[in-house]
Amino acid sequence: MDTHLTELTPLPPAKIAILGGTFINDYLFATDHLKGYSIVDTPAGPSPKIYYGESDGIPFYYVHFHGEGKWLETWLALRDLGVTEAIGGATAGGISPLLKTRDYVIPKDFTDKNIDRISNIPEEFLADPSHALCRFTPPYDETLRSFLVEETRTVIRSNEELADINVMDGGVLLQSRFGRFETVAEIAAYRTSGADLITHNLMTEVVFAKQLGIHYAWMNIISNPAEGVAPWAFESLSDVYLKLNPVTWKILKRVIPRIAEIPEDAPRTIDKQREHPPLSYVELSKKAGNAN
């Protein structure tokens, strides 16, 4: 996998991070884009390997499989490394009958049914405790999301071999518990609640990124129908990974330079979404100038 890469101390700077999942698997390890890695000490403990890479001279960090269980340490490391822009992704089960295997989806909203892991950055790890209670309307960064929609369409529509793949702009992604597939009854309940597709990791990233002030957007590939929607076999997953992991990287290679060109003073979705007013009546009164 990464046996050809050596440890870099310190890591060269980068403001962009790619959070890998099954939408890209270990494809990058077979290329020359990754140059090395480092493990970062964070307030929550050592991070997983944070890989440094370059795409057409533009630096970026890569995190394999969402941090391989070290979700909190991963995001604290990215924050401490100076990351301000992040793209995540994963394969997903299609709950909506409109979604078929191999379709790309750039969702607009999410539902989090995670019960297995920490769901927020602890306040003691935040620069400002008021950032713990963020708004998620919308949950993504609109600039990054627009890049994903546009470049996914460009890559898919320019290749006749991908003509059967649709690109869905929208949909609700549900994050379920990690480590197992869902039951038919669970999927039926999730469909009733408005979910269009289901996966296991991304919503944790959405929340952590917003709380830490990192602009984030994500994409999904439908790897199979969700349970009870249509028949499927495990063998079909390998075919999706083999054919579409390289396609995902082509999309990301087009997105990375556009991210690098975003002006530092450009208005962003996260603006005014993180600052929650003080909860104390006394503090609120003082702020309003009404306290004696």
Which positions ≥6 away from 181 have C-beta within 8 Å?
93, 227
Q: Domain of 242: which CATH number?
A: 3.40.50.1580
- Residue 244: both structure tokens together: 């579409």
Q: What does the pLDDT read at residue 147? A: 98
Model-level pTM? 0.92
Q: What does the pLDDT read at residue 4? A: 86
Asked if residue 156 belongs to a domain, the reply is yes
Mean pLDDT, residues 115-128: 88
Exposure string for 12-49, b = 16+ CB within 10 A, e = fewer: eebbbbbbbbbbbbebbbeeebbebbbebebebeebbb
- Residue 217: half-sphere exposure toward Cβ, Cα within 13 Å: 24
Asked if residue 46 belongs to a domain, the reply is yes
- Domain with 256, as residue range(s), is 6-288
Q: How confident is the model at residue 280 (pLDDT cuts 50, 70, 90)?
A: low
Asked if residue 145 belongs to a domain, the reply is yes
- Residue 206: both structure tokens together: 């959405």
Quote the mean pLDDT of the chain. Answer: 93
Does the pLDDT at position 279 exceed 80? no
Asked if residue 170 belongs to a domain, the reply is yes
Pairing mode, strands 197-199 and 58-63: unpaired
Asked if residue 54 belongs to a domain, the reply is yes
Residues 138, 172 contacting (CB under 8 angstroms): no
DSSP 186-229: HHHHHHHTT--EEESSHHHHHHHHHHHT-EEEEEEEEEEEPTTT
Q: How confident is the model at residue 6 (pLDDT cuts 50, 70, 90)?
A: very high
Asked if residue 1 belongs to a domain, the reply is no
What is the tally of helices (H) and strands (E) in the chain?
A: 6, 12
Q: How confident is the model at residue 207 (pLDDT cuts 50, 70, 90)?
A: very high
Q: Which 3-state string (H, E, C) describes 97-135?
A: CCCCCCCEEECCEEEECCCCCCCCCCHHHCCCHHHHCCC
Residues 105, 153 contacting (CB under 8 angstroms): no
Q: What does the pLDDT read at residue 116? A: 79
Q: How confident is the model at residue 117 (pLDDT cuts 50, 70, 90)?
A: confident
Radius of gyration of the chain, Cα coordinates, nearest whole angstrom: 20
Which three-class secondary structure state does DSSP give residue 245?
A: helix
Q: How confident is the model at residue 22 (pLDDT cuts 50, 70, 90)?
A: very high
Number of domains the chain is built from = 1
Q: Given the structure tokens 């039951």, which residue do they identify?
A: 183
Asked if residue 117 belongs to a domain, the reply is yes
Q: How confident is the model at residue 3 (pLDDT cuts 50, 70, 90)?
A: confident
- Residue 143: both structure tokens together: 């600039």
Does the pLDDT at position 88 exceed 60? yes
Q: Using CA atoms, how far apart are residues 284 and 67, in angstroms rounded to an integer?
A: 39
Whole-Å CA distances, 30 to 21, 53, 89, 114, 249? 15, 13, 19, 32, 12
